[in-house]
Amino acid sequence: MMHTILVATEKPFARVAVDGIAAIAKEAGLEFRLLEKYPDKETLLKAVGDADALIVRSDIVDKAVIQAANKLKIVVRAGAGYDNIDLEAATAKSVVVMNTPGQNANAVAELTFGMMIYLNRNFFNGTSGVELRGKTLGLHAYGHVGRVIGLIGRGMGMDVFANDPYVEKIFIENDGVKYVPEKKDLYRTCQYVVVCLPASTETRESIDYTLMSSMPEGATLVNPARKEVIHEPSLLKIFAERKDFRYITDVAPNCNEQLKNEYGNRYYATPKKMAAQTEEANINAGLAAARQIVNYLEKGDRTFQVN
Ligand code: 3PG
């Protein structure tokens, strides 16, 4: 019987990426279905009913979704972070979960610099701003995203440092980046710290008062990752205490309105998570997801399985 592949994306991929996924599905003899900008959970629950394979982005794939998907064999998160997927529920139903590491890293890195420059040039209001060249840049985690940010930062003449207990010192140093064994020293030293962490039980609310308050004069915390990694009461406290502290993020925190209203000259959050929203990233991640599904269904290839 023909297998069905469903692309369920509340935030749609670029058309060219959707066409590419459809072509891969067709070539492999899979039926292709598309559910974009769905209005509510009910619609998603209904749509997954006959899906053998599912491609999502930040869409919430919780227990209810997994249970409603009776034929489901594989879910691929077209992107890096899979904190939106209930791995336990998937494993309990023998559903394989994968991500597509690295495929959207460049898009995220470029937007990170876009946000930094936007803030440094006073939201493009024409008044005199500051430059990134010659400043210290700290990468909190050196995965795919951190690595590209480091590369761009070096190209812009920044002095780049990284902390990541899961990456070998030699790997970081070979990229011309200074290795910092302790994260507290990264925050203490760097004028710009970019958080490149996944959201997990280990990282949740881990950027706390101690780290933020240790940052140097005029420091900027940059978050293209997940709002959950920031301890928001500490963030509010720092903003109240330090007039020099700045925060820019691709994921609005729960306290967005307050920060915007009270500290709008040194705070910015994108209106909707958009760092990975480029044609190229959509093509890279979407097509990789489709190929991983085909390889799993045809050959049992479990590369990039995360559960
Ligand atoms: C990721 O984890 O890959 C990024 O945060 C991008 O998420 P998105 O697919 O929802 O844009």
Distance 1 CA to ligand 1 centre (A): 33
Distance 79 CA to ligand 1 centre (A): 5
pLDDT of residue 234: 98
User: If one looks up domain 105-269 in CATH, what number appears?
Assistant: 3.40.50.720
Answer for the pair 250, 274: CB distance below 8 angstroms, yes or no.
yes
Q: Where are the domains of the chain?
A: 4-103+278-299, 105-269
Residue to mutate (ligand 1; options 9, 13, 104, 227; most atoms within 8 A of CB): 104
Long-range contacts, stretch 84-91, CB < 8 angstroms, 24+ apart: 84/56, 84/58, 84/59, 84/60, 85/56, 85/61, 86/61, 86/62, 87/306, 87/307, 89/62, 89/63, 90/61, 90/66, 90/307, 91/307
Distance 244 CA to ligand 1 centre (A): 30
pLDDT of residue 60: 98
Ligand 1 in reach of 276 Cβ (< 6 A): yes
Answer for the pair 80, 145: CB distance below 8 angstroms, yes or no.
yes
Question: Quick one: which atom of ligand 1 is closest to the CA of 58?
Answer: 10
Band (1; pLDDT cuts 50, 70, 90): confident
pLDDT digits (tens, 9 = 90+) for 169-215: 999 999 999 999 999 999 999 999 999 999 999 999 999 999 999 99
pLDDT digits (tens, 9 = 90+) for 207-236: 999 999 999 999 999 999 999 999 999 999
Q: Which amino acid is at 264?
A: G
pLDDT digits (tens, 9 = 90+) for 268-304: 999 999 999 999 999 999 999 999 999 999 999 999 9
Q: For residue 270, what are the β-bridge partners?
A: none
Ligand 1 in reach of 80 Cβ (< 6 A): yes
pTM over 0.95: yes
Mean pLDDT of 32-60: 98
Nearest CA to ligand 1 atom 11: 276
Contacts of 96 (CB under 8 A, 6+ apart): 73, 74, 75, 90, 296, 302, 305, 307
Ligand 1 in reach of 81 Cβ (< 6 A): yes
Identical topology for domains 4-103+278-299 and 105-269: yes
Decide yes or no: CATH 3.10.129.10 for domain 4-103+278-299: no
Q: Which residue has the tokens 């937007």?
A: 111
Distance 7 CA to ligand 1 centre (A): 15
Return the DSSP state at 82.
Answer: -
Torsions phi, psi for 139 (to 5 deg): -105, 110
